[in-house]
Amino acid sequence: MRANKNLFWILAVFCVALSGVYIFWSIIDKGQVEWVGALGIGLSGILAAFLAFYLGRVYSAQGGDLPEDRLDSDIDDGDPEMGFYSPWSWWPVILAGSASIMLLGFAVGTWITFIGVAFLLVAIVGWVYEYYRGYFAR
């Protein structure tokens, strides 16, 4: 986390400095400030500063280094239990397909969205209850 904090501070300083260079360059080229690019780059620097500040506060509040910050740590030290995932489950694929149909409905026609929502609900219920019936029921 210490490395992430430092990288975000470097990115914040770089973006703010680049915003100044962008303003100077646009005045030389066009004779006026091009505000969209200048504000976009400057606000990206401010966002990076917010993230660096947040990570710095979390780093100081946690009371110690994370395993990836220590030189004497092993790979297994930073490997928490993430949960149980079924390697044979097809429900995530069906869920992604139904979400794609739903988002396609937003772009093409709203009637397709309702079909996508119906498939989405079926996929969510199927994924949640996949261990309650069938071959892997417990």
Note the pLDDT tens digit of each residue in 44-89.
Answer: 999 999 999 999 998 888 877 777 777 887 877 777 777 777 778 8
Q: Is the pLDDT of residue 15 over 90?
A: yes
Residue type at 30 in one-letter notation? K
Q: Contacts by 41-44 with C-beta closer than 8 Å and gap 24+?
A: 41/15, 42/15, 42/16, 44/15
pTM of the model: 0.56
Average pLDDT on 19-37 reads 94
Above pLDDT 90, what percent of the chain? 60
Q: In whole angstroms, give the CA distance from residue 101 to residue 50.
A: 36
